[in-house]
Amino acid sequence: MMLPIVTYPDKRLKIVSKDVTTFDAKLHTFLDDMYETMINTNGIGLAAIQVDRPINVLIVNLPNDDEEGTQDKANLLEIINPVITHSEGTTVYQEGCLSVPKFYEDVERFESIGITYQNRDGEACTLEADGLLSIAIQHEIDHLLGKLFIEKLSYGRRKKFEKEYKRMQKELKSKKS
């Protein structure tokens, strides 16, 4: 089932999510719904709070390195209750977010990270990530902390974003009416 995506400036995106304690069929259905929602909106990462569930759940499905950039479900990562255990270096990447449509901006993050997390069955897992995977996981973990990538922009860039985003929302409203 497709779930509606919460978009900026909705205050629900500021909620700090809580840990998952029950790993049951309901959680599995929710994870499947998150996947369907992400794939059908051309996303590569999604946090539960983006579909109005304040729980520490995120999914990432990076595109393949081929020309089509297809996403194989076999590469889907379901990450529950993540904790960053270590990090190294910094990197800059132009990020986008399904909750901030049509806006992309350079953001600085750790180059590589190590995390502990649980899978859909509650089993303890560890993961070392670098490149796009590291960036995507950090972006999604920020959602679980109630933070959006636009909060990492410089004062000037954030101002420009607010102006452009407001104008875009006005345009969308006038097209609807």
Q: Is 140 tagged catalytic? A: yes
| Surface-to-core class of residue 99, CB atoms within 10 Å of its CB (0-12 exposed, 13-18 middle, 19+ buried) | buried
Which two three-digit tokens encode residue 80?
């529950």
**Beta-sheet pairing, 124-130 with 57-60:** unpaired
Among 31, 58, 60, 97, binds Co ion (CB under 5 A): 97
Residues 104 and 149: beta-carbon distance below 8 Å: no
The answer to whether residue 142 forms part of the interface with ligand Y12 (CB under 6 A) is no
The answer to whether residue 98 forms part of the interface with ligand Y12 (CB under 6 A) is yes
Question: Which is nearer to ligand Y12, 24 or 164 (by Cβ)?
Answer: 164
Residues 80 and 118: beta-carbon distance below 8 Å: yes
The answer to whether residue 139 forms part of the interface with ligand Y12 (CB under 6 A) is yes
The answer to whether residue 96 forms part of the interface with ligand Y12 (CB under 6 A) is yes
Q: Helix, strand, coil shares of the chain as percentages rounded to 5?
A: 40, 30, 30
- Cα end-to-end span (Å), the chain: 28
Q: How many residues bind ligand Y12 (CB under 6 A)?
A: 16
Please tell me which residue in 140, 151, 162, 164 is annotated as part of the active site.
140
Site string for ligand Y12, 65-94 (x = CB under 6 A): ----------------------------x-
Task: List binders of ligand Y12 among 49-68 (CB under 6 A).
Answer: none
C-alpha–C-alpha distance, residues 133 and 112, integer Å = 9
Binds 142: which of Co ion, ligand Y12, none (CB < 5-8 Å by kind): none
The residues binding ligand Y12 (CB under 6 A) are 41-45, 93, 95-98, 101-102, 132, 135-136, 139
